[in-house]
Amino acid sequence: MSPTSKLQVRPATINDIPALADIGYNAFFNEPIDGHWFPFKEQYPHDYHRSFIDELSLRLVTPGNVIMVVELEDQDASQRPESAASSKGTAEQKNDPPPNTTKTNQEVVAYIVTIRHGLSDSSPKLQKKWNPDTPVKKLTRTFLNLPGSTTSLHNRAMSATTVQSYYSQAASIYNDHMEHDSSGKAKGWIDCRFLAVHPTHQLKGYGEKLIEWVAHTAAVENVPVFLDTTDVALPLYVRYGARVIGAIQLPEQIVHCLGGGRGGGNVKRIETLEVKVLKWKREWATSELVARARL
């Protein structure tokens, strides 16, 4: 971030979807979890990229789902780093500023996808915070799920059975560690589904800003947070007070990449992977997070 840059954390809009898909594509392409979920992504990179567009588009119009982004506002357009699109060979979407003028360059560099559960019995004020439903959103969801739409098409990069097994294991672990009220009914909770920072902007604190937003929101609403992570990012969450409550097991895969594409004709071995499942709540917050997230 240049000295003239400003940072804000805000809800995503439909106009952000292309940039968010590029961020996810670049951030997760070499991640081990996506290696299991999308064993054919090298062979079908366009299908892999489309998976982010489909997922994010549906989340944006689904009640209880909120996507927050980190956006940089830079008065010096010449400081703009190489975009996700250009680094992967996709068409550049942004226009250059006119000659000899200064233009505010707004660039989204990170995002987090969260799902709020347990809203049915909450106040209208709280429901309004979490992407309430509208006729337009209902119509959009219907359109996205119609036969022939991109979301209904078979994604050749994906292993649907692996993804289904992953979330089934996660749900089982979540259920074993759910909070309950005095009547025994499960309380609400926040599921941190994805956190992505574009590789050119990693290790600059942008991911932490999104974690702070989640922690602050969960503390205000008095609900726990559940998430999963590989060992690489685990120390960050533990540093903020999250605790390991279980693990998702992804077995070894032997993938035969047939046909055309970058991975065509290869046999690939995807090693067994253990993904940690974590829980966080306000009482476990470290002093560092309390100060940074204003808990």
Task: Report pLDDT for 185.
Answer: 85
Task: Report pLDDT for 187.
Answer: 87
Separation between Cα atoms, residue 295 and residue 231, nearest integer Å:
27
Return the SS3 of 67.
strand
Reported pTM:
0.84
Amino acid residing at 275: V
Separation between Cα atoms, residue 16 and residue 7, nearest integer Å:
16
Task: Report pLDDT for 86.
Answer: 35
For 189-206, write each residue's pLDDT tens digit: 999 999 999 999 999 999
Separation between Cα atoms, residue 250 and residue 261, nearest integer Å:
25
Q: Give the contacts of 182 (CB within 8 A, at least 6 positions apart).
A: none
CA-closest candidate to residue 20, choices 46, 56, 45, 47:
56
Partner residues linked to 5 by β-bridges:
74
CA-closest candidate to residue 151, choices 140, 135, 162, 159:
140
Return the SS3 of 131.
coil
Which regions of the chain are under pLDDT 50?
76-103, 263
Separation between Cα atoms, residue 219 and residue 214, nearest integer Å:
8
Angle between helices 17-28 and 45-60 (to 10 degrees): 130
Q: Can you state the percent helix, strand and coil of the chain, rounding each to 5?
A: 40, 25, 35
**How crowded is residue 255: how many other Cβ atoms within 10 Å of its Cβ?**
18
CA-closest candidate to residue 227, choices 158, 241, 155:
241
Cβ atoms of residues 201 and 212 within 8 Å: no
For 111-161, write each residue's pLDDT tens digit: 999 999 999 878 888 999 999 999 999 999 988 887 665 655 689 999 999
Task: Report pLDDT for 105.
Answer: 79
Task: Report pLDDT for 269.
Answer: 92
Task: Report pLDDT for 150.
Answer: 61
Separation between Cα atoms, residue 285 and residue 237, nearest integer Å:
10
